[in-house]
Structure 1
Amino acid sequence: MNPQDLERLVTLPMPFGKHQGTLIADLPGPYLAWFARVGFPPGEIGRLLALMHEIDHNGLSDLLEPLRRRG
């Protein structure tokens, strides 16, 4: 993970699926957990979804608030 990954979580919308258009940082925990069970997609989006899952699962979502305020 690099600092740019955290910035991407609060600026990149989900490009497909049920929550298309929702910022990755705003995706519901159960949706992220579903990806963790069935497998994350390849590429950057999968890497970011996995990172957001870890952040959400460990209760660290508040760490993204300063980045949200900056944007």
Structure 2
Amino acid sequence: MPFGKYQGRPIADLPGNYLNWFARVGFPAGDIGRLLALMQTIDHNGLRDLLRPLRALKRRS
């Protein structure tokens, strides 16, 4: 996350309540907003496990 309370934290690690706050007040423009909206959708639908293979790839590199 490039700004705010969770600056420096991966978007995939942001808490659901923070993502839901963005959904209520509006996502920022550009790529960061699209990524936050996607992560909010993933979290809202209980699909965080979809990210597990990507996390495993990151640990290997």
TM norm structure 1: 0.81
Q: How many pairs align?
A: 58
Letter in 2 for 1:23: P
**Structure 1 gaps, min length 5:** 1-13
- CA radius of gyration, larger in: 2
> 1:38 maps to what in 2?
25
With normalisation by structure 2, the TM-score equals 0.94
Q: Which residue identity does 2:43 align to in structure 1?
A: D
The higher-RCO structure (CA 8 Å, 6+ apart) is 1
Say what the alpha-carbon RMSD is for the aligned residues.
0.3
Percent identical among aligned pairs is 76
The runs of at least 4 aligned residues of structure 1 exceeding 6 Å deviation read: none
